[in-house]
Amino acid sequence: MSNPISLAHRSKSHVLLAWSPMFLMLVVTASFAANPFKRDIAEPGNQAFKEENYEKAASEYVKAQDLEPLSAELNFNLGSAYYRQDEYDRAMELFEKATRADETSVAAKAYYNLGNSRYKASKRDYEAAVATAGGEGAAGGAVQDYVKKLEQCIKDYEETLKRTPEDEDAKYNLEMIRREIKNLMRRQPPQDQQQQQDQQQQNQDQQNQEQKESEQEQNQQDQGQQEENKEDENKDSEEKNQQQQE
């Protein structure tokens, strides 16, 4: 059984503690700092979270979402409350929504907590599969699935670092996940190890292909927009010429 990874906790000097809610009355964001109403609706949930009453905190954040359903901060806070109740799948869903925040710092923190939640959920599922199979050696499929999910955790932390390159906690967790993958690979029988490497390469090839297709689609859209703009310009020019001839 692999040793658990001690994911980094953010120091108290950070505005946002790892897996803790984004206390809206303290976080300086463009939307919430300028809107006392949005800060006020989160206050009951924030207070319950500080009191470690995470079930009540979740309930209060859900109520607040009725008033601000598109708030990335509230999605983040609700995800934090679920995380503290070990409801990692629900937490992941909400952190995923929070990553779409317009504000870079909010999105970065959401990706960080998404990676933490994904790791906890993946580790839980992996250990359950190993126990059912009667040991790691008999759980080859579970190992492959676990590694694949760990690779997704890496992506989450990389997304954090794209937005906040100075985030030392994300760097630490990223390296710990990579070490965990290497340890898993070393413990696999040679045949299983080769299959795992082939699967990793296949996953990487698929990701590269998806990225290439996305870039091609974006280029086509840009080209179409340029052609449309050119047609509009030509049309305007023709109309001006006609007016001058008249």
Of 33, 67, 98, the one marking the end of a domain is: 98
pLDDT value, residue 137: 65
Structure tokens of 220?
Answer: 């086509």
213, 225, 234 from 220: Cα distances, Å: 10, 8, 21
pLDDT value, residue 223: 73
Residue-wise pLDDT tens digits, 174-225: 999 999 999 988 877 665 555 656 666 777 777 777 777 777 776 776 676 6
Residues 29, 52: one domain?
A: yes
Residues 129, 190: one domain?
A: yes
List all residues 6 or more positions away from 48 whose beta carbon is below 8 Å from its beta carbon: 54, 56, 57, 60
Residues 26, 62: one domain?
A: yes
- Domain for residue 239, yes or no? no
pLDDT value, residue 13: 29
- Domain for residue 243, yes or no? no
Residue-wise pLDDT tens digits, 62-106: 999 999 999 998 999 999 999 999 999 999 999 999 999 998 988
Average pLDDT, the chain: 79
Considering only CA atoms, give the Rg of the chain: 24
246: DSSP letter: -
- The pTM is what? 0.67
- Domain for residue 230, yes or no? no
Count of domains for the chain:
2
7, 55, 102, 195 from 87: Cα distances, Å: 17, 11, 26, 32
The SS3 assignment for 132 reads: helix
Average pLDDT over residues 158-169: 95
Of residues 74 and 138, the one with the higher pLDDT is 74
Domain extent at residue 189: 111-207
The CATH number of the domain where 38 resides is what?
1.25.40.10
Q: What whole-number distance in Å separates Cα of residue 119 and Cα of residue 83? A: 12
Residues 121, 155: one domain?
A: yes
